[in-house]
Amino acid sequence: MRLARLPTLCVVVLALAACRNDTPVAVAPGAPPATVEDTPPAVSPPLVSAARAQIGVVRLYDPTYFSLPYPGGDVPADRGVCTDVVIRALRTQGLDLQQAIHDDMLAHFDLYPRQWGLSRTDRNIDHRRVPNQMRWFERHGWEQAIGRSPDDFAAGDIVAWKLSGSGLLHIGIVSDRRSRDGTPLILHNISAGTQEDDLLFDHAIIGHYRQPTDMASGASR
């Protein structure tokens, strides 16, 4: 299995709980890796298409804290972190995680992770933290079994990892494309913009989520 892209240095900055470089990194879009099947499905699930559309647009990994409009706020279009891939893709489906997580945290602040020492919500950053996304998905019926084989994962699923070595958290979206050994690829931003890579089983999976079929986009319980 091809090794996943890893940043040269991983540190926690602004408690985004994601892997980063010291400075934003940009790369030019290139051809798919040699281990990837050459022909993608003719029609991809909407969430997968929305994530793949970020490739070549989101070219920087940048964990800078931004003051965002609300609702519907976003960091500059050419940059972001792993959580922003998920935020942007879900927003095209009518679910604004910025507002959804903020509203849920306002009502249930004590149920969300507290490792940042916060005493109140921050709608600029709360939705961009991997543990907060995981908790929201758990609380709203998206949680699936972790999964140990390629067939346990469907295109459009959301997966969270604890990165080997650094121990930092990462999150991405399962693609409808597979490597030649049958492993689903992942749409994510780990160090150099949104990419589509073979890394599903390269790190410890700590969360697996799928939008409930009985839930309209953007709805919450």
171-220 pLDDT tens trace? 999 999 999 999 999 999 999 999 999 999 999 999 999 999 865 444 44
Query: Which of 6-20, 40-54, 101-115 is the least confident region?
Result: 6-20
Which tens digits make up the pLDDT trace of 63-105? 999 999 999 999 999 999 999 999 999 999 999 999 999 999 9
- Beta-carbon count within 10 A of 164 CB: 11
Which tens digits make up the pLDDT trace of 105-139? 999 999 999 999 989 999 999 999 999 999 999 99
Determine the pLDDT at residue 82: 98
Whole-model pTM? 0.84
Domain 46-209 listed as CATH 3.30.450:
no
pLDDT > 60? residue 21: no
